[in-house]
């Protein structure tokens, strides 16, 4: 089975500027992607409702950040967004999850109930909510059907949370989406933690991660994280990533036992 492959639009935000949404979608459709995740600071959010009709792509999510001072902006986003039903939400109010994060989630979930939206919590290295453990604790606290979790392989690896199998089991009741990237632990990477690279680069073994997801029956979309630090040709990096991803899927189908580790680091 092939997962729907989505690209996060960060890869289109380069040091020379940002590619227009239409060009982003044309590239992704040409390369065989099925969808896109759009950053909430995009100036073209109003055009999301036409993405499916014009390019055949799903808008799998809109990525947003909450920190103190963004209450009105985030409320407006939730009240007005069209063409997408999931907000991937990172929490960054302090060096850990704060009560104001909890209050904001309470407020946003009321909007979700009214507007048929979902929140997928997005653990993010160097943010207040860094780990899948913290995201799972919030989901347990709220026990709300419209609140779930994005498992981001990059941020799990960069935070050195470890215990892949245990972490997937713990967050499984709330898993909504999965994002991956090639990456290596390095002070030259984002936040001095880890690089973000195409899927055929880095030291993160995404084949093993995909195997763990397959064994648990995950059939949802998989998003690819990109960043301006990748450098080079955006189209070429996207092509490398989807080719590497489809290759991993084919290997898993033929030999799922290849993704089982005999010696798991602790």
Beta bridge partners of 38: 62
Q: Is residue 176 part of a domain?
A: yes
Q: How many domains does the chain have?
A: 1
Locate the DSSP E strands across 67-101.
Answer: 86-91
Distances (CA, A) of 50 to 53, 54, 78, 245: 5, 6, 19, 27
Q: Is residue 266 part of a domain?
A: no
Q: Is residue 152 part of a domain?
A: yes
What global pTM score does this model have?
A: 0.95
CA atoms within a 13 Å half-sphere pointing along the CA-CB vector of 227: 15
Q: Is residue 179 part of a domain?
A: yes
What CATH number has the domain bearing residue 144? 3.20.20.150
User: 214 exposed, middle or buried (CB, 10 Å; 0-12, 13-18, 19+)?
Assistant: middle
From first to last of its 266 residues, the chain has per-residue pLDDT tens of 699 999 999 999 998 999 999 999 999 999 999 999 999 999 999 999 999 999 999 999 999 999 999 999 999 999 999 999 999 999 998 889 999 999 999 999 999 999 999 999 999 999 999 999 999 999 999 999 999 999 999 999 999 999 999 999 999 999 999 999 999 999 988 888 999 999 999 999 999 999 999 999 999 999 999 887 777 899 999 999 999 999 999 999 999 999 998 876 65
Query: In whole angstroms, what is the distance from residue 161 CA to residue 158 CA?
Result: 8
Query: In whole angstroms, what is the distance from residue 106 CA to residue 76 CA?
Result: 15
Domain that holds residue 35: 5-186
């Amino acid at each position: 089975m092939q997962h729907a492959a989505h690209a996060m639009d960060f890869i289109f935000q380069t040091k020379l500027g940002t590619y227009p949404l239409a060009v982003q979608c044309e590239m992704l459709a040409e390369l065989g992607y099925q969808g896109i995740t759009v950053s909430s600071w995009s100036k073209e959010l109003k055009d999301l409702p036409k993405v499916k009709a014009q390019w055949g792509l799903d808008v799998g999510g809109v990525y947003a950040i909450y920190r103190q001072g963004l209450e009105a902006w985030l409320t407006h986003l939730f009240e007005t967004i069209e063409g997408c039903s999931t907000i991937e939400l990172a929490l960054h109010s302090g060096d850990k999850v704060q009560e104001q994060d909890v209050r904001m989630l309470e407020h946003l979930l009321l909007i979700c109930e009214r507007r048929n939206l979902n929140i997928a919590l997005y653990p993010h290295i160097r943010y207040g909510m860094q780990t899948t453990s913290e995201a799972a604790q919030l989901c347990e606290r709220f026990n709300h059907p419209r609140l779930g979790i994005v498992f981001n392989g990059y941020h799990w690896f960069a935070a050195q949370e470890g215990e892949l199998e245990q972490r997937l089991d713990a967050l499984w009741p709330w898993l909504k989406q999965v994002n991956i990237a090639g990456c290596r632990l390095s002070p030259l990477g984002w936040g001095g933690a880890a690089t973000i690279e195409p899927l055929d680069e880095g030291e993160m073994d995404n084949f093993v991660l995909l195997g763990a997801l397959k064994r648990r029956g995950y059939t949802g979309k998989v998003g690819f994280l990109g960043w301006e630090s990748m450098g080079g040709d955006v189209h070429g990096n996207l092509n490398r990533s989807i080719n590497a991803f489809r290759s991993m899927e084919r290997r898993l189908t033929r030999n799922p036992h290849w993704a089982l580790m005999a010696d798991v680091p602790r």
